[in-house]
Amino acid sequence: MDRDYSLLSDDEVLHIRSGRILMPNATFKVSEFLDALAQVISEQEAEWSDECEGWFSTGLRCEALRLANQGWQRGRVRIRLEFYPEPQKLLKEETPRHANRSERPAYRDEVYTTVEPVYDEFNDEY
How confident is the model at residue 96, as a pLDDT?
A: 61
Alpha carbon of 75 to those of 56, 60, 66, 72: distances in Å? Answer: 15, 8, 11, 10
pLDDT tens column, 40-91 = 999 998 888 888 989 999 999 999 998 888 889 999 999 999 999 988 877 7
State how far the Cα of 93 lies from the Cα of 114, in Å rounded to an integer: 10
Counting beta carbons within 10 angstroms of the beta carbon of residue 70, is it exposed (0 to 12), middle (13 to 18) or buried (19 or more)?
A: exposed
Residue 123 scores a pLDDT above 50: no
pLDDT over 90, % of the chain? 51
